[in-house]
Amino acid sequence: MKSKKSALGRGLDALFGEIDQAYDNEGSQQDSILELSLKDIRPNPFQPRKTFDEESLLELAESIKNDGLLQPIVVSEDIDGYILIAGERRFRASKLAKLKTIRAITISTNEAKMRQFALLENIQREDLNAIELAYAYSELLKLHELTHEELSTMIHKSRTNITNTIRLLQLSGNTQKALIEKKISAGHGKVLVGLNDKQQQVIVNSIVGQKLSVRDVELMIKTIKDENLPAHKKPTVVSYDLSEIKERFDSLGFSTKSSSNKITVEFNNENQIKEFLSFFEN
């Protein structure tokens, strides 16, 4: 198994260089750059990214109209035209710009490589949302039978980051949708893993409605978990009569608040602190 994984790993490493090599050859092999009709190109069916920022695409479309396409897309020839391998945003923006053709570099590939190219291009450029990235990592692990540590070395991401990102796939459909729509952050999503669907929905609603930070959510989850503990496992809160101590502090001019087992002293200025400390000097 180890030799199989090593071979697959070397194959994955090699993939990183193929598109870069195609671009490197662009300057010295201008005849390999084609001007293709946009209608003859179809998207990579294995593209992991499902959502594209419309405003960003419109900006890119305007740039392409004004300055031209600075970097060609990469395609592979197919029976009925071409399949897009790299450059999905440039392809979509060119269509938005109402262009008829686009500059492209052709490479030879197959279905397995098309899937890998789509995953790697997006992971490298960090264009995916957290859920799409989780699916991309998961797909690469399955394709190459890799461990999280091996994938970490190959794509230069920390193993912890890969593991935590993949765990987002355990979230409910509604929570994943909130992540994709950027209503909550990946940090929020990571602390929600392990809660049931109903608990996730309550907290997601709270994050959106109350603009909760990740720390706020962690405290909220702790409260939920404490409430769900069996009675014999819940911490015992001892209650004391602190009224006499509170009255004494109040008589000395200190503002205090008390609960079942603690008193909080509030100070208004530095002089009050010094006065308070003076009671302990002798």
Structure confidence by residue, pLDDT tens digits, 105-163 = 888 777 777 777 767 766 765 567 888 888 888 888 887 788 898 888 877 788 998 99
Q: How far apart are CA 178 and CA 189, in angstroms?
A: 9
Neighbour tally for 245: CB within 10 Å: 13
Q: How far apart are CA 280 and CA 278, in angstroms?
A: 5
Q: How far is CA 78 from CA 42, 165, 195, in A?
A: 10, 34, 46
Active-site residue identified among 88, 121, 132, 150: 88
Give the pLDDT of residue 172: 93
Is 88 known to be catalytic? yes
The pTM score is 0.55
Determine the distance from the C-alpha atom of residue 90 to the mean position of all C-alpha atoms in its chain, rounded to a whole number.
Answer: 23
Cβ-in-10-Å burial (0-12, 13-18, 19+) of 2 comes to exposed
Q: How far apart are CA 10 and CA 178, in angstroms?
A: 37
Give the pLDDT of residue 28: 43
Identity (one letter) of the amino acid at 261? N
pLDDT < 70 regions, the chain: 1-32, 48, 50, 118, 121-122, 124-127, 227-239, 259-260, 282
Q: How far apart are CA 62 and CA 76, in angstroms?
A: 27
Q: What is the largest CA-CA distance in the chain?
A: 95
The per-residue b/e assignment along 66-84, b for 16 or more CB within 10 angstroms, e otherwise, is: eeebeebbbbbeeeeebbb
